[in-house]
Amino acid sequence: MSKVTITIDGKKVQAEAEESLLDICRREFIPVPTLCDHHDLKPYGVCRLCIVEWDRGDWSKIVTSCNFPVKDGQVFKTNSDKVLRQRRMIMELTLARSSHTPEIIDVAKRIGVEVDKVRFPKKDEGCTLCGMCIRACSEVVEANAISFAGRGPTRKISSPFFDEAGDCIGCGSCSYICPTNYIKMEEDENYRTFPEWKVKFEMAHCKKCGQKIAPKKQLEFIRKKANLPADWFDVCINCRP
Amino acid sequence: MVAKLAKLNNFADLDSLRKSILKDRDANATTIVVAGGTCGEARESNKIFDAISELAKKENAKLTVKYTGCHGFCQREPIVIIEPMGFWYQMVKPSDAKDIVASALSGKPAEHLLFTDDAGNKILKENEIPFYRKQNKLLLSANKLTDPVSVEDYLAAGGYASLPKALAMKPEAIVDEVKKAGLRGRGGGGFLTARKWETVRKAQPGETRYVICNADEGDPGAYMDRSLLEGNPHSVLEGMIVGAYAIGANEGYIYVRNEYPLAVKNARIALKQARELGLLGKNILGSGFDFDITICRGGGAFVCGESTALMASLEGKIGEPRAKYIHTAEQGLWNKPSCLNNVETWANVPHIINKGSDWFASIGTAGSKGTKIFSLVGKINNTGLVEVPMGVKLREIIFDIGGGIPDGKKFKAVQTGGPSGGCLPESQLDLHVDFDELTKAGSMMGSGGLIVMDEDTCMVDVARYFTEFLTEESCGKCVPCREGVAHMLWILNRITNGEGREGDIELLEEMAETIFDSSLCALGGTAPNPVLSTIKYFRDEYEAHIKEKRCPAKVCKKLITYSVIDKNCTGCMACTRVCPTEAAVATEKQATAPIKGKTNPKLKMHQIIDKKCIRCNLCFENCKYDAIKVK
Amino acid sequence: MDLSKVEQIVKNHDTNPGQLIGILQDVQTEFRYLPKHPLEKVAELLNVPLSQVFSVATFFRAFSLEPRGKHEVSVCMGTACHVRGARRVLEEIERELDVPAGKTTKDKEVTLETVNCLGACALGPIVVVDGEYHGHMTSTKLKTILPGKKAHNVKKD
């Protein structure tokens, strides 16, 4: 990869060609808000909060920084009036959807949205449709157990047929990664359940120390994928010789 | 035709096949042409064809009967033409078959089937009819004499002639020729076709690349692509073969709407024929070039007209667009360089190769070359497909070709560019229609839908209609489009329901800026156009709804009332009979208006009880005495 | 449910995952909707996740996860039809059949759908009943073409 020089808010910055603009901003401590970006996932570009203005001299264009591959000599503004104004509108729309979600209220406040003066009908959707759960399940876990269902305003995250997610291995990545804590994972000594996906998993315990390890189905999934011996997960990591 | 077609191994084979087809045909033989196509068939053109065929067979005479695609003048369909005399018959019924065959045999026109102009003159031939006179049917003319399922017809009309020429050229030279012609994409944005081809040609050297034909014609009110693909599918294939050769692709796709069953059927037949003839497949005409095409049916999603969404659905995924900071020309289908053009664009390509770029560039305006097919629909006398050179005035299309507005009503607006476009008022009628002029006026070319609206059309309701359409068709991926457009609809619903507030117009404008700039794809990025263009040109209608709670066009149900005009009411009870909610009822008073000159003392004057009225319009439709008033 | 039909459909499409939409269309033609088991079979045969098949089946307008009625009534909501009063026609059909657009009547007789544009704008407003086009529709005229109504009228005579 070749090195390029770009300008962000008047400051010259070195970067790799095709590097994502959001990554560069983070490295340079330039604050850019986002609700759908995660370092382990490919950029998806849906929350639109990370928009910046790409200055083309006599004209400019709004682009999302998370999936924008930079080229040498490009000039960006991350806090022009236009960017800030549009971010507030996007956030107001997001807040109207998830008006009771603390994480959303918090971001809205930070970028200057008057939280109690939302001009659109308020809903209480904990899910912002950022798709992190689905992307983690397919890109990282490769279980592909969940997806979006429907389209437009009725789009939702879902297990197949809104029923038991047969391909779910119970790893919990969807829940860990969910930025609004919408996807719940409940667990006791013997079982782990995901109400959203209508699934319940039996937990494996270490045959030596009795310590709870993970859902049996998850261990089996990993074992097969990594081609490990049949008894590999009989014991926990601490008891493994 | 059932027999398998013999494979053509080289250019000479193609030439001799064409010659032998022409030799077998008598140019002077009397031919009865029945125009089919989807709208023709909706009016029984297939039955007409059967009836005429049967009679012709009985006559045992030298009559050829041919079934073709749509001839464009939808308003007057079914259309039958008798060649070589050129008699042009309209609004034909199956029962007219006898007269038509008689006319073909006698060489005398069947007077009652001829077109009558405004002055009452009978018109004999197509090119004398005002609707056709100003057109330049470069692409659509073949529909007139070609049976879409007969490759012989296509060859007889000079079809596939561009292949020997193109396949002998250097691919770069073809791209150059298309560039010099100035061809721009007919699907919406008007992007320079050759520039796209060049990018695809140069991207990812050595990799597989694809050509794709976008036949997912999603703009409601636009159906020129359907007409081309179902009426002349080989012309689209021919364009794709040339394009594929030019960019170095060996695989192609046609992505067609499933709502167009006839187009799917005819395109499949054409593919089969082209394969049998060796015009698709390995070593096409001995040139060493391999190319084949697969047909994929769309699942009914407007957003799949967007290139990245279309390609996602070709991969068997949901039609969700992705950011285009890297173009599909570089990374498209299966991440390979992909060249997507729409049906009409592809159909232009053979003409450019055959007749040269200079000829093509001589048609149209400085920035927009060639012809454009428009579908002229809505409140217009002559509904139909109109092909004119770029740069013709809107007024010419609507009034000279389209014959103006029906029922003596006043023109109010013309909507261009589908849901991504805008509404243009009377003051814009002298605009010369091309890609750039329409954009400047706040609308766009889109795929060429022209929906004419008259004084009875409520412009706020039209904006609401398009916004509702876009809300339902948004894929739901990004926030500005999914949430923003839906909230625009919420505001428009309030306004049309009489619950508009001060500041609503300004809020719509404020939202529009963000939705324009920050949406992920072109669906969201153009979604505010219908709202903004109606605010720009018809702000007074918005204000009437918001401030006076009044719908000037009397369309918005919550803002209108139905009542009986006492002096016109005959007491005939038609309204009572049809009223589904018992809102139209008799009063105690005797009706005063006479029926056939007489008043009947038993008949009572009627009234409409507003509380019960659901504004279904049934009383209005059924009252023969103009006694129902809408206010 | 005859899953061998599904196998044949998938084979007809060269077991190509890119043809998923076409496959689902053919499955829907076969079963009149997209039932769960055939979709599971499709996913298995194509070797694509069931979640992907499900998302496609719910994304596109052409597909229905619920059984459809014996008859299909589609109202064109294209722009040309709209300016000529299609909405009013639709509302009247909804009232007559007592079913909202996109749903099937309680007796499973009729499914009422809207379509975006049939491209036969000269005939607008258009209502299609079991594949047959009825043009220049009005609230009054439509009473004679609705499936349930027609049968009802015949019985009465």
| Backbone torsion region of residue B605, taken as left when φ is above 0, otherwise alpha when ψ lies between -120 and 50, otherwise beta | beta
B455 CB neighbours in chain C (<8 A) are none
**Contacts A–B by Cβ distance under 8 A:** 93
Choose from C25, C117, C143, C144 for mutation: most chain B CBs within 10 A.
C117
Nearest-by-Cβ selection for B221 from C80, C91, C140: C80
Distance CA A138, CA A160 (A): 14
User: Looking at residue A204, what is its pLDDT?
Assistant: 96
Task: Specify whether the CB–CB gap between A70 and A4 falls below 8 A.
Answer: yes
Distance CA B361, CA B225 (A): 22
Distance CA A146, CA C51 (A): 5
> What's the whole-number mean pLDDT along residues B396-406?
96
Q: Say if C116 is an interface residue toward chain A (CB within 8 Å).
A: no
8 Å CB contact of A145 and C49: yes
Neighbours of B609 (CB within 10 A): 13
User: Looking at residue A155, what is its pLDDT?
Assistant: 97
Cα three-residue angle C15-C19-C23, rounded to 5 degrees: 80
Q: Say if C51 is an interface residue toward chain A (CB within 8 Å).
A: yes
Q: Which two tokens stand for residue C75?
A: 């109202």
8 Å CB contact of B323 and A67: yes
In terms of Cα–Cα distance, which of B100, B101, B25, B95 is closest to B57?
A: B101
pLDDT at C8 over 90: yes
Task: Specify whether the CB–CB gap between B586 and B571 falls below 8 A.
Answer: yes
8 Å CB contact of C53 and A160: yes
Instruction: Find residues 438-477 of chain B whose CB sits inside 8 Å of chain A.
Output: 471-477
> What's the whole-number mean pLDDT along residues B225-248?
97
Distance CA A35, CA A41 (A): 13
Q: What Å distances lie between residue A75 and A12, A87, B92, CA to CA?
A: 9, 19, 65
Task: Specify whether the CB–CB gap between A71 and A4 falls below 8 A.
Answer: yes
Choose from C20, C51, C54, C61 for mutation: most chain A CBs within 10 A.
C51
Q: Residues of chain B with pLDDT > 70: what percent? A: 99
> What's the whole-number mean pLDDT along residues A57-80?
96
Q: In what order do the strands lie in the sheet with C110-115?
A: C110-115, C71-76, C127-129, C132-134
pTM, 2 dp: 0.94
8 Å CB contact of C54 and A161: yes
Question: CA B156 from chain center: how many Å?
Answer: 27
User: Looking at residue C148, what is its pLDDT?
Assistant: 66
Give Rg (Cα) of chain B: 27
Choose from B295, B377, B383, B465 for mutation: most chain C CBs within 10 A.
B377
In terms of Cα–Cα distance, which of B373, B380, B375, B401 is closest to B134?
A: B401
> What's the whole-number mean pLDDT along residues B578-596?
91
Choose from A139, A142, A147 for mutation: most chain C CBs within 10 A.
A147
Taking each helix axis from N to C terminus, what angle separates B504-518 and B529-547, rounded to the nearest 10 degrees? 170
Omega within 30 of 0 (cis) for the link into B528: no
**Contacts B–C by Cβ distance under 8 A:** 157
Q: Of A172-181, B512-521, C64-73, which range is least confident?
A: C64-73
Residues with Cβ within 8 Å of residue A109, at least 6 apart in sequence: A115
Position C152 confidence tier, pLDDT thresholds 50, 70, 90: very low
The residue that leads in pLDDT, C8 or C139, is C8
Q: Of A21-25, B4-8, B87-91, which range is least confident?
A: B4-8
Q: Which two tokens stand for residue B78?
A: 């079914």
DSSP assignment string, B222-288: --HHHHHHHH-HHHHHHHHHHHHHHHT-SEEEEEE-TT-HHHHHHHHHHHHHHHHTTSSBSSGGGSS
> What's the whole-number mean pLDDT along residues C105-131?
90
Task: Specify whether the CB–CB gap between B122 and B42 falls below 8 A.
Answer: no
Cα three-residue angle B312-B317-B320, rounded to 5 degrees: 55
Over residues B140-173, the pLDDT tens digits come to 999 998 999 999 999 999 999 999 999 999 999 9
Neighbours of B282 (CB within 10 A): 11
Question: CA B259 from chain center: how many Å?
Answer: 13
B482 CB neighbours in chain A (<8 A) are 129, 152-153, 155
CA C53 to chain B, closest CA, distance in angstroms equals: 8
CA A186 to chain B, closest CA, distance in angstroms equals: 29
Task: Specify whether the CB–CB gap between B210 and B249 falls below 8 A.
Answer: yes
pLDDT at C153 over 60: no
Nearest-by-Cβ selection for C54 from A138, A151, A160: A160
Q: Which residue is closest to B222 within chain C, CA to CA?
A: C119
Phi then psi for residue B540, to 5 deg, are -60, -30
Q: Which residue is closest to C49 within chain A, CA to CA?
A: A144
Question: Is the confidence metric ipTM above 0.90 for this complex?
Answer: yes
Position A51 confidence tier, pLDDT thresholds 50, 70, 90: very high
C58 CB neighbours in chain A (<8 A) are 149-151
Mean of all residue pLDDT scores within chain B? 94
Cα three-residue angle A68-A71-A77, rounded to 5 degrees: 60
Q: What Å distances lie between residue B247 and A188, B240, B242, B403, B418, CA to CA?
A: 61, 10, 9, 43, 30
Strands B30-35 and A75-77: unpaired
Distance CA B605, CA B625 (A): 13
User: Looking at residue C24, what is its pLDDT?
Assistant: 96
Nearest-by-Cβ selection for B318 from C19, C59, C80: C59
Per 3-state DSSP, chain A is made up of helix, strand and coil in percentages (nearest 5) of: 30, 20, 50
Distance CA B276, CA B318 (A): 34
Position B61 confidence tier, pLDDT thresholds 50, 70, 90: low
Q: Which two tokens stand for residue A177?
A: 């990664």
8 Å CB contact of A119 and B513: no
Distance CA B596, CA A216 (A): 88
* Alpha helices per DSSP H over chain A: 21-27, 81-97, 102-110, 132-135, 173-177, 216-225
C62 CB neighbours in chain B (<8 A) are 258, 298-300
Question: CA C148 from chain center: how many Å?
Answer: 17
Q: Say if B60 is an interface residue toward chain A (CB within 8 Å).
A: no
Q: Which residue is closest to C46 within chain B, CA to CA?
A: B316
Residue with tokens 């003048």: B73
8 Å CB contact of C121 and B223: yes
Distance CA B619, CA B338 (A): 56
